[in-house]
């Protein structure tokens, strides 16, 4: 498979590279660009952040989670390529020096690349942009001051004019690794090679290689399937293609369901959200995935395809058991959709860290009240069972009842019938059940206009 991309303004063509070689390893070992650091090697620390540009814009991404074929037709900037051709420093570099934003310097290249990307995109929500970059020395105050200092400065021409090398060549190979250019091509390839591994954003699959040391025999890269990256919002429906990344999803969802959008803001980090996809997050079937409970609470429908055959099912029915989904060999997630509806949805994420942490419990509540009576209730949880799961007994206790504290108290007692959670390093079973009950009370308070967000409460 031939791969062509720009690296710091220079065109690079690779032939015969391993399809599961990461950009991080290639930069450090083959190009000796060691400014990009290896820290956690799993997308948590941000030390390996680089800027990747394609026809849809520029993103900060973790080089440790990028396989080389995912870069075909794109442009990559590492910290070595941030300054101008004549050595002129980027404003971010100048500001990091001026504001003393570096001590040991190990994390600094990753911070710089996240800040350069945010600056190019004119993003000024610095806490969000830098939530995926960890610093153990300096602390964040001088780094945030540096970001604030440059936010209104012009983008240097060598960064502003960053372009993709060219449209990636159509996949001509009839062997792995495959790189289909459309969902039609993907359907044909995957039906013939159902044992192949689908690579969307690789935020999960890359760990099979970097941490699990697995050898992926056959691989299908989905990034070229632009028709799976579409977001369609009509008066009646929201439809998200399987390859829509989580940042794009957040941008589309937040105006419709702000609580959902805020939850996605806490989903991993800017770098991970820019790579992770809606379809991948659903298809991996994680019992602690944050996205499925919210979609289930919205009554979402999952759209699957195998060859020329398509089928749809309620998203909640897709999750059969731990590690098992209702997906046949050679069948893939094509899209997920849900009906436009009044914003009664609230999503509550409980985790040890506020940013970039796995949930102990994720509760999504969508209750409709008419004339003081509960007429509809969809409540779904992550972290409470082997799969994302609805609280059916709790819902039944609410339906047809007056929307009162007494009804909430009665419904809280039903959680024991819906869930038998496990104890693990994130939370005990007792904690999970108690907080699930409390989240129902929080939802009641929230829907009655009380302040419930920790970001809004002050002494």
The residue to which tokens 């760990």 are assigned: 207
At 160 the pLDDT is 92
Q: Which residue has the higher pLDDT, 164 or 194?
A: 194
Q: What is the pLDDT of residue 250?
A: 97
For residues 92 and 249, what is the distance between their CA atoms, to the nearest angstrom? Answer: 28
Could you give the domains of the chain? 1-166 (3.10.20.30), 230-447 (3.30.390.50)
pLDDT of residue 386: 95
Q: Is the pLDDT of residue 162 over 90?
A: no
Q: What is the pLDDT of residues 15-41, one digit of tens each?
A: 988 999 999 999 999 999 999 999 999
Could you report the per-residue pLDDT of 91-129, keeping only the tens digit for each? Answer: 999 999 999 999 999 999 999 999 999 999 999 999 999
Position 179 scores a pLDDT of 94
- Helices 405-412 and 429-447 cross at an angle (nearest 10°) of 160
The larger pLDDT score, comparing residue 147 to residue 169, is at 147
Mean pLDDT of 66-78: 96
pLDDT band at 161 (very low <50, low <70, confident <90, very high): confident
Mean pLDDT value of segment 202-221: 93
**Based on C-alpha coordinates, what's the Rg of the chain?**
23
What pLDDT band is residue 139 in, cutting at 50, 70 and 90? confident
Q: Going by DSSP bridges, is the β-strand pair 219-221/197-199 parallel, antiparallel, or unpaired?
A: parallel
Residue 166 above 90 pLDDT?
no
State yes or no: pLDDT of 169 exceeds 70. Answer: no
Judged by average pLDDT, the poorest of 46-50, 74-78, 160-164, 171-175 is 171-175
pLDDT at site 194: 97
Mean pLDDT on 47-53: 97
279, 275, 273: which is closest to 261 by C-alpha?
273
Give whole-number Cα distances, 54 to 9, 65, 82, 401, in Å.
Answer: 13, 17, 17, 52
pLDDT score for 2: 87
pLDDT at 384 over 80: yes
Q: CB-based contacts of 421: which residues, under 8 Å, 6+ apart? A: 383, 384, 385, 429, 432, 433
**pLDDT value for 458:** 61
Q: Is the pLDDT of residue 320 over 90?
A: yes
The CA-atom distances, in angstroms, between 294 and each of 35, 201, 298, 351, 408 are 39, 21, 6, 16, 20
What SS3 state is found at 256?
coil
Q: Which residues, 6+ apart, have CB-to-CB distance to 428 below 8 Å? A: none
pLDDT tens-place string over residues 242-296: 999 999 999 999 999 999 999 999 999 999 999 999 999 999 999 988 999 999 9
Q: Regarding beta strands 373-382 and 361-370, do their DSSP bridges make them parallel or antiparallel, or are they unpaired?
A: antiparallel
pLDDT of residue 254: 97
User: What average pLDDT does range 388-396 have in this prediction?
Assistant: 98
Ranges 147-151, 169-173, 451-455, most confident: 147-151
- Residue 218 confidence (pLDDT) above 90: yes
User: Residue range 368-389: average pLDDT?
Assistant: 97
- The pLDDT of residue 127 is 94
Mean pLDDT of the chain: 94
CA 73 to chain centre: 22
Residues 342-351 have pLDDT tens digits of 999 999 999 9
pLDDT at position 20, please?
95
Per-residue confidence band for 427, with pLDDT thresholds at 50, 70 and 90? very high
Q: According to the model, what pLDDT value does residue 457 have?
A: 59
Beta-carbon count within 10 A of 406 CB: 9
Overall average pLDDT of the 63-91 stretch: 96
pLDDT for 167:
55
Give residue 205's pLDDT: 95
């Amino acid at each position: 498979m031939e791969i062509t991309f720009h690296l710091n303004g220079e065109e690079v063509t690779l032939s015969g590279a391993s399809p599961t070689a990461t950009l991080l390893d290639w930069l450090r070992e083959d190009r000796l660009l060691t400014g990009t650091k290896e820290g956690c090697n799993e997308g948590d620390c941000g030390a390996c952040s680089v800027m990747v540009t394609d026809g849809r814009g520029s993103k900060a991404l973790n080089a440790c989670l990028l396989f080389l074929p995912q870069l075909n037709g794109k442009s990559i900037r590492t910290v070595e390529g941030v300054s101008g051709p004549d050595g002129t420093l980027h404003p971010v570099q100048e500001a990091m020096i001026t504001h003393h934003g570096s001590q040991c310097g190990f994390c600094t290249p990753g911070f710089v690349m996240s800040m350069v990307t945010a600056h190019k995109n004119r993003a000024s929500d610095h806490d969000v942009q830098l939530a995926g970059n960890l610093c153990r020395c300096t602390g964040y105050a001088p780094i945030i001051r540096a970001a604030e200092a440059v936010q209104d400065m012009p983008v240097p021409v060598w960064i502003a004019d960053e372009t993709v090398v060219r449209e990636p060549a159509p996949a001509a190979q009839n062997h792995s690794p495959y790189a289909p250019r459309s969902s039609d091509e993907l359907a044909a390839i995957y039906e013939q090679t159902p044992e192949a591994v689908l690579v969307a954003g690789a935020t999960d699959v890359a760990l099979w290689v970097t941490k699990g040391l697995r050898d992926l025999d056959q691989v299908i890269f989905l990034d070229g399937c632009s028709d799976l990256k579409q977001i369609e919002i009509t008066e009646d429906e929201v439809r998200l293609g399987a390859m829509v990344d989580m940042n794009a999803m957040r941008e589309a969802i937040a105006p419709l369901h702000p609580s959902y959008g805020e939850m996605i803001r806490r989903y991993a980090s800017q770098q991970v959200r820019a790579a992770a996809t809606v379809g991948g997050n659903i298809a991996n079937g994680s019992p602690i995935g944050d996205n499925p409970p919210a979609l289930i609470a919205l009554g979402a429908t999952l759209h699957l395809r195998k060859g020329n055959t398509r089928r749809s099912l309620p998203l909640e029915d897709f999750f059969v058991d731990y590690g098992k989904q209702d997906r046949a060999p050679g069948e893939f997630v094509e899209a997920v959709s849900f009906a436009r509806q009044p914003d009664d949805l609230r999503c509550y994420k409980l985790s040890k860290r506020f940013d970039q942490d796995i949930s102990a419990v994720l509760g999504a509540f969508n209750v409709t009240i008419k004339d003081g009576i509960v007429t509809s209730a969809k409540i779904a949880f992550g972290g409470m069972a082997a799969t994302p799961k609805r609280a059916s007994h709790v819902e039944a206790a609410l339906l047809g009842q007056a929307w009162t504290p007494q009804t909430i108290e009665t419904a809280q007692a039903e959680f024991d019938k819906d869930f038998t959670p496990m104890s693990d390093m994130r939370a005990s079973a007792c904690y999970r059940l108690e907080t699930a009950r409390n989240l129902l009370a929080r939802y009641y308070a929230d829907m009655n206009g009380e302040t419930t967000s920790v970001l809004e409460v002050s002494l």
